[in-house]
Amino acid sequence: MKTFLAFLLACAPLGAEVTVIKNATIMTESARGTIKGSVLVRDGKIAEVGENVMIPAGATVIDASGQWVIPGIIDCHSHIAVDGNVNEGSVSVSSMVNIKDVINPEDIAIYRALAGGVTTANILHGSANSIGGQTIVIKMRWGKDAQGLIFEGATPGIKFALGENPKRAGNPQPGGRGPAAPLRYPATRMGVEDTIREAFNEAKQYKAEWDAYDAAVKAGQHPLPPRKDLKLEPLKEVLEGKRFVHAHCYRADEILMLIRIADDYGFKIKTFQHVLEGYKVADEIAAHGAGASTFSDWWAYKMEAIDAIPYNAAMMAKKGIVVSLNSDDAELMRRLNTEAAKAMKYGGISREDALAMVTINPAKQLAIDNRVGSIEPGKDADLVIYDQDPLSNFSKVQKVLIDGNKYFDRDQEVSGRPRKEAEKQKLIEMEKQQQRIPTGGRRGQ
Amino acid sequence: MRGRYSSLACAAIFCSAVFAAANDTFLIRNVDVYPVSSAPQQNVSLLVQDGKIAEIGAKITAPKGIRIVEGKGLRVYPGMIDSGTNLGLSEVSAERVTVDTNELGEFMPQLRALIAVNPDSEHIPVSRVNGITSAVTYPGGGRGGRGGAGAQIIAGQAALIHLAGWTWEQMEISPDAAVQVIFPSIGGGGRGGENADFPDPAAFGGAAQSYTERKRQYDQAIQRLNDFFDAARQYQKERAANAAGFKRDLKMEAMIPVLEGKVPVAVTAQQERQIRDAIAFAEKQHVRMVLIQPRQALKVAAELKAKNIPVILGRTEALPENEDAPYDQAESLPGELHKAGVKFAFGTFSNEFVRNLPYNAARAVAYGLPHDEGLKAVTINAAEIWGVSDKIGSIEKGKWADLMITNGDPLETPTQIKHLYIKGQEIELTNKQIQLYERYSKRP
């Protein structure tokens, strides 16, 4: 472990040990609110925040005069950095598969997300199954390998999905291409409920077998262990509170349905995702203690999004629900700061509370708020510097730090473009030259 | 342009439930006026008479008993124009039964978007409460396009509509703002279908057909397009000669205004090759062209400027076209085109995101477009490009009172719209979403 740490430190850019961002307007998203001053970063952590911060000798100083600093943005619903299809759609319950196994650290979407101020994202399996695959939280450490992206210690999750998407494979596809695929249960919201109940009925028995085994071992006996079931293992973890449920949902009826399943089987829904009709059952969601991660203003792209309203986030927040705004999209992901501004427009949320919906609130929903989501001493130095008010549509990300290391710098990006373009042209020329060589074989075979 | 513009009779029908008040004569006072076509004027009055802008100034003698709208601390802007929508033609994009864009048939200039506009589409009130008062709605494009073999080349007539009215006739500003041409593409319209740098399909995940074959199909499609225009011109001659045995043809009739230069072609072309070929096509056929969503317009900017070809840009809230492209490619494009002297307006090319039109302009401002040009690109530029700048697009005497009164810069998200007028009629700032908000806010 020590050698590994030494390796990590060796990899860190020079001068990353102590950095001071000074003269900035800092939206701390903590009890301190918004202040003018400095952030001192030491060894990847925020060491000090305040109006008057002493600059240690040898520190890297970033003068952010006229600029704004916010905590790194957290996207609670993303599918970037996934190698290939995000859906294992062949079965109604695909809890045995794990997004962690297919993280692609070279996805350009990671860099683009960085350029939009995102430092952490919840990477989810798709929504083709009532119970989908396992999920993982990553940091946008562009340049690191797959292991290096994973948010150390973050509780893993599992995707559930309700409504139209999990039903789709159970209904004939009009105009579908290719030979007709066999229909897959379920085809209705009734079937979605049953699928989830059947799975937890199994999981509960499975857990009972293991609990009995564990108790026997504890009592000094030597029983045979039950057979390990890779489908039920993650559901057992859900029942034990060791794995979070992130449930894709739209309509009020299905939200309520899942709350009741969770009540019956004794587990919690950590977040309702999309949850576009959450405003209709906000009391029930609040009573269950689930978070809600929604779109700011997407609607009408499908039938179950027809009653979506942009006031959803504000209405749920007013009922005491921890609300985040997510992207579910590599493009939208790059501008979650201005998505937060929509919570100000629709429902009158304050500036700080609006920005919280893309910083500290998603951190709470993922239970990583001890590490990220606000600018407070002891937390990871995941910081974004904007040229102006980040809730303004005119703002641009200037720099992004993760663990105190700079991963994005707009000035460097822009000044480096001519060199990259020249390099690209050179490669194209080389490619063209190669194509002209009259050989029998073809490339890429 | 041609068409039935508002008569008083029409304005009289235009009333009751849609509008909070049936009165289209009023005075906004103590307001900051942002005409867009000229410098802002602080703390003045704006007189609207019979739905038209009558006067702007510090001292206006208003008719006695006129309705007064207090504008203290507020601003008034012209209503915004979205130059790329399917408003009224598509409700739930994933449900084909609710979508009326993309008819069958390759050359269909006779199809009229206007007559398929559903005035009760929920997208209309949702869009207009954010200050969008008119929009171009296209017969083709958007999601639900068929693509591939049998794809449309001429989709029909795009209409410019007001976002208020009991019927589509009342909504009409221009029934044939343009004839929509979806220019052929080598990749069949798919992503990454064409890249002139690598004329080898193996470099693009192995396209089913060879580049040579796709290029041949592309050239053939352009030939068919030119043949269609040639046939229309022949028809035009025969029609003018009133030759014996002349038979009226509805497709060809629909082409006459285009050939006469009264109606432009709105040509969708994204890639540099397509754009250049589209320019060549328009020149060859002597037709006016508006270029739609040309993502690689920057590579052709000098020609666009030299030939006065206006452009409708898509969303700046968009990803770069490929991995190598700068992350802010879509955001920077408007600013770069402005520097190059190309005239453009914005379209959202959606229905769901029409209300975010001003934020797309704002994002362009963040990445280099001057602020006043951002505003123009959602107001007066659009009006000029669609040939209706005598009617809408700015706050000038004689134009329709399509106005929004705001508490700040409309390009900024938290800004609230306080009053909205279309043809001087006050629009009630409500819609299904606001009603759901109010209803569920009261849930005990």
Suggest the residue from B121, B298, B327 to mutate for an interface test with chain A (most A CBs closer than 10 A). Answer: B327
Burial category of A34 from C-beta neighbours within 10 Å (exposed 0-12, middle 13-18, buried 19 and up): middle
pLDDT at position B61 is 85
Domain residue limits, chain B: 1-79+393-444, 80-392
Q: What angle do CA A274, A276, A278 make, to 5 degrees?
A: 105
- Sheet with B311-313, edge to edge strand ranges: B80-85, B132-137, B154-162, B172-182, B265-268, B289-292, B311-313, B344-346
pLDDT at position B142 is 52
For residue A18 the two structure tokens come to 């102590």
For residue B13 the two structure tokens come to 């029908």
- The answer to whether residues A67 and A204 belong to one domain is no
Q: What angle do CA B215, B217, B223 make, to 5 degrees?
A: 105
Contacts of A40 (CB under 8 A, 6+ apart): A18, A19, A20, A46, A47, A48, A49, A53, A55, A56, A59
Answer whether B87's CB lies under 8 Å from B99's CB.
no
pLDDT digits (tens, 9 = 90+) for A70-118: 999 999 999 999 999 999 999 999 999 999 999 999 999 999 999 999 9
- Alpha-carbon distance A368 to nearest alpha carbon in chain B (angstroms): 29
**Separation CA A271–CA A287 (nearest Å):** 13
For residue B47 the two structure tokens come to 């007189």
The pLDDT-based confidence of A8 (bands split at 50, 70, 90) is: very low
Q: What angle do CA B59, B64, B69 make, to 5 degrees?
A: 65
Q: Which is nearest to A296 in space by CA: A335, A252, A244, A270? A: A335
| Contacting residues of A for B318, CB less than 8 Å apart | 331
Q: Which is nearest to B143 in space by CA: B178, B98, B179? A: B98
The CATH number given to B80-392 is 3.20.20.140
- The answer to whether residues A102 and A225 belong to one domain is yes
Q: Which is nearest to A83 in space by CA: A99, A66, A67, A63? A: A99
- The answer to whether residues A129 and A16 belong to one domain is no
The pLDDT-based confidence of A182 (bands split at 50, 70, 90) is: confident
Interchain contact, B317 vs A332, CB within 8 Å:
yes
pLDDT at position A153 is 96
pLDDT at position A176 is 56
Length of chain B: 444
The pLDDT-based confidence of A437 (bands split at 50, 70, 90) is: low
Whether A214 is covered by a domain: the verdict is yes
Interchain contact, A394 vs B366, CB within 8 Å:
yes
Counted across chains A and B, CB pairs separated by less than 8 A come out at 107
pLDDT digits (tens, 9 = 90+) for B278-296: 999 999 999 999 999 999 9
Interchain contact, A331 vs B317, CB within 8 Å:
yes
Interchain contact, A443 vs B320, CB within 8 Å:
no
Half-sphere exposure of A442 (CA within 13 A, CB side): 7
CATH number at residue A22: 2.30.40.10
Whether A268 is covered by a domain: the verdict is yes
- The answer to whether residues A42 and A54 belong to one domain is yes
**Separation CA A412–CA A424 (nearest Å):** 18
For residue B202 the two structure tokens come to 């193996």
The pLDDT-based confidence of B49 (bands split at 50, 70, 90) is: very high
* Percent of chain B whose pLDDT exceeds 90: 83
pLDDT at position A3 is 46
The single residue listed with the structure tokens 């409920």 is A193
Indicate whether A19 pLDDT > 70: yes
Q: What is the mean pLDDT of chain A?
A: 94
The single residue listed with the structure tokens 């071992």 is A217
pLDDT digits (tens, 9 = 90+) for A264-298: 999 999 999 999 999 999 999 999 999 999 999 99
DSSP codes of every residue in A40-72: EEETTEEEEEESS----TT-EEEE-TT-EEEEP
Mean pLDDT of the B346-362 span: 97
Provide the chain B residues 348-377 that lie in CB contact (below 8 A) with chain A: 351-352, 355-356, 359, 362-363, 365-367
If DSSP codes are grouped into helix, strand and coil, which group holds residue B30? strand
DSSP 8-state secondary structure symbol assigned to residue A396: -
Q: Which is nearest to A325 in space by CA: A401, A379, A280, A273? A: A273
**Separation CA B420–CA B129 (nearest Å):** 7
pLDDT digits (tens, 9 = 90+) for B159-211: 999 999 999 999 999 999 999 999 999 864 343 334 433 343 333 344 567 88
- Alpha-carbon distance A341 to nearest alpha carbon in chain B (angstroms): 6
- The answer to whether residues A163 and A82 belong to one domain is yes
The pLDDT-based confidence of B243 (bands split at 50, 70, 90) is: confident
- The answer to whether residues A262 and A390 belong to one domain is no
Touching check for A115 and chain B: CB below 8 Å? yes
- The answer to whether residues A49 and A147 belong to one domain is no
DSSP codes of every residue in B74-105: -EEEEPEEEEEE-TTTBSSTT-GGGB----SS
Pick from A283-287, A320-324, B69-73, B207-211: least confident: B207-211
Whether A242 is covered by a domain: the verdict is yes
**Separation CA A358–CA A118 (nearest Å):** 9
Whether A433 is covered by a domain: the verdict is no
The pLDDT-based confidence of B13 (bands split at 50, 70, 90) is: very low
Residue in A with minimal Cα distance to B95: A302
Provide the chain B residues 139-198 that lie in CB contact (below 8 A) with chain A: 197-198
Whether A443 is covered by a domain: the verdict is no
Q: Which fold has domain B1-79+393-444?
A: Urease, subunit C; domain 1 (2.30.40)
Indicate whether B355 pLDDT > 80: yes
Q: Radius of gyration of chain A from Cα atoms?
A: 24
pLDDT at position A177 is 55
Whether A305 is covered by a domain: the verdict is yes
Q: Which is nearest to A281 in space by CA: A307, A244, A300? A: A307
Q: What is the mean pLDDT of chain B?
A: 90
| Contacting residues of B for A308, CB less than 8 Å apart | 433
Indicate whether B3 pLDDT > 90: no
Touching check for B6 and chain A: CB below 8 Å? no
Q: Cβ of B378: how many Cβ atoms within 10 Å?
A: 30
- The answer to whether residues A348 and A309 belong to one domain is yes
pTM: 0.92
- The answer to whether residues A64 and A133 belong to one domain is no
**Separation CA B98–CA B373 (nearest Å):** 36
Residue in A with minimal Cα distance to B322: A108
Phi-psi region of A415 (alpha: psi -120 to 50; beta: other; left: phi over 0): alpha
DSSP 8-state secondary structure symbol assigned to residue B116: G
Dihedral (Cα; B395, B400, B404, B409), 10-degree rounding = -30
**Separation CA B363–CA A331 (nearest Å):** 13
- The answer to whether residues A107 and A162 belong to one domain is yes
Indicate whether A442 pLDDT > 70: no
One-letter amino acid of B431: N
Indicate whether A170 pLDDT > 50: yes
- The answer to whether residues A20 and A157 belong to one domain is no
Pick from A333-347, B130-144, B409-423: least confident: B130-144
- Alpha-carbon distance A442 to nearest alpha carbon in chain B (angstroms): 9
Q: Report cis status (omega within 30 of 0) of the bond before A186.
A: yes
Whether A445 is covered by a domain: the verdict is no
- Alpha-carbon distance B51 to nearest alpha carbon in chain A (angstroms): 29
- The answer to whether residues A45 and A187 belong to one domain is no
Indicate whether B8 pLDDT > 90: no
pLDDT at position B208 is 63
pLDDT at position B209 is 76
For residue A331, CA distances in Å to A79, A124, A334, A374, B333 come to 11, 16, 6, 24, 16
For residue A293, CA distances in Å to A298, A316, A323, B122 come to 13, 10, 6, 25
Interchain contact, B412 vs A108, CB within 8 Å:
no
pLDDT digits (tens, 9 = 90+) for B113-171: 999 999 999 999 999 999 999 999 999 975 444 444 458 999 999 999 999 999 999 99
Touching check for A408 and chain B: CB below 8 Å? no
Number of domains making up chain A: 2
* C-alpha of B133 from chain center: 11
When CB atoms are compared, the residue of A279, A331, A347 closest to B318 is A331
Model ipTM? 0.92
Domain that residue A213 falls in:
73-172+181-372
One-letter amino acid of A129: N
When CB atoms are compared, the residue of A301, A392, A442 closest to B412 is A392
Alpha helices in B245-390 (DSSP H): 250-259, 272-284, 301-306, 329-339, 357-366, 371-376, 380-385
pLDDT at position B196 is 37
**Separation CA A46–CA A30 (nearest Å):** 13
Whether A152 is covered by a domain: the verdict is yes
* C-alpha of B349 from chain center: 8
